[in-house]
Structure 1
Amino acid sequence: MTLPTLLDIEASGFGRGSYPIEVGLARPDGSHCAFLIQPLPEWTHWDPKAELLHGISRARLRREGHPVVQVARWLNDELGEIGICYSDSWGYDNTWLSLLFHHAGMLPAFRLEALRLLLSESQLALWKQTKEALIEELGICRHRAGEDARLLQLTYQRTRELTGQA
């Protein structure tokens, strides 16, 4: 089975003024990676509750984050040939991805779609419990973009197996 490419974004918070702080991918071969994003000077929104979830401080982003243009180029390099990737939070992730590319002065060379489009009703019925079982089984660190993207991919794979679609 060829696995879909999954994308996940961690952000400074939700709603107006929020921006992407980390983007992660799970590739079709099962490998995954993530990049922290250096906030632009005008990106000032910061929700301490979001920081409690992802554990990434603004100071760390300034220190270890990659420039917006570099992250947008990397995404286009990684996803341009594939052409499509999927997210379980399409509404949020698409907004943050658009913001990233807008500020990079670039257009994405790929499309982001909702993961829901790939799932059968039987997969959906098993999704939550399967995801929770994988977190427990593999000790996955949640709310980090690379790990979350891989978790989604593994959940997709296992729900296909459980429903005889593999």
Structure 2
Amino acid sequence: MICPALIDFEASCLPEYGRSFPIEVAIARMDGKNHAWLIRPAPAWEFWDWFPEAEALHGISRELLAREGLPPAQVVAEMADFVRDCRVYADADLDQYWLEVLCQAVGAKLPFPVRYLGELMQKRGYTRPQVVAALEEAKRQLPKEHLAREDAKRLALTVKLLFDEPPQGVSS
């Protein structure tokens, strides 16, 4: 099973602290494949906010983005290809926001919607203790945080751990 796919963005700052833009995005599929993209800032974001505190968390500098970041249009196209027909989920609505900011910068329509992971867990009948236990195990196996690739991989592992175990009260 390769679906669902889990997405995570890193940004220049959190929106509540300023006008933020996406700087890295990663998608992890349940088959173990994952991909991360550094995003070269779009010209429209030139005067948007950049917080040193955010940079300290994710370790991505403006210089790194200028040197190694990919053009936003390329990132959007490659993300769409990578997820193919998978439904894409995130653990926060900010990921949908940053996908929208990314697409708006290049005049592209959204390549896919970003659904809330909690809704999938609820729909499948998982209890809060099951989700917390799976998340704790995923954090134990993949402890690095605030790196889009690691965060997306940890979310995909959480979902895989849950999918490998039926919801409480459901026999396999």
Which category of TM-score, normalised to the shorter sequence, fits these structures?
A: 0.7 to 0.9
Deviation at residue 2 of structure 1 after TM alignment = 5.3
Q: Is 1:67–2:71 an aligned residue pair?
A: yes
| Map 1:80-159 → 2, pairs under 5 A | 81-82=84-85, 84-89=87-92, 91-120=93-122, 122-136=126-140, 138-159=141-162
Conserved 8 A contact 1:10-1:145: yes
Q: Which whole-Å CA distance do the structure 2 matches of 1:45 and 1:122 have between them?
A: 39
Deviation at residue 29 of structure 1 after TM alignment = 1.6
Residue identity opposite 2:4 in structure 1: P
The Cα RMSD (Å) is 2.2
Q: What is the aligned-residue identity percentage?
A: 37
1:13 corresponding residue in structure 2: 13
Deviation at residue 33 of structure 1 after TM alignment = 1.1
Please state whether the residue corresponding to 1:148 is helix, strand or coil.
helix
Residue identity opposite 1:144 in structure 2: L
Closer/same/farther in 2, CA of residues 28 and 139 from structure 1, 3 Å limit: closer
Q: Which whole-Å CA distance do the structure 1 matches of 2:100 and 2:150 have between them?
A: 22
State the TM-score, normalizing by the size of structure 1: 0.86
Q: What is the aligned length? A: 163
Residue identity opposite 2:135 in structure 1: K
Conserved 8 A contact 2:2-2:29: no
Q: Which whole-Å CA distance do the structure 2 matches of 1:139 and 1:28 have between them?
A: 15
TM-superposition CA deviations, 1:100-143 (whole Å, max 9, x none)? 0111111123221111111035343233343233222x244211
Q: Which whole-Å CA distance do the structure 2 matches of 1:133 and 1:12 have between them?
A: 29
Q: Which whole-Å CA distance do the structure 2 matches of 1:139 and 1:145 have between them?
A: 12
Task: List alignment gaps of at least 5 residues for structure 2.
Answer: none
Within the candidate set 30, 33, 36, 2:32 is matched to 30
Conserved 8 A contact 2:144-2:150: yes
Conserved 8 A contact 2:90-2:115: yes
State the TM-score, normalizing by the size of structure 2: 0.83
Q: Is 1:55–2:59 an aligned residue pair?
A: yes
Closer/same/farther in 2, CA of residues 78 and 122 from structure 1, 3 Å limit: closer
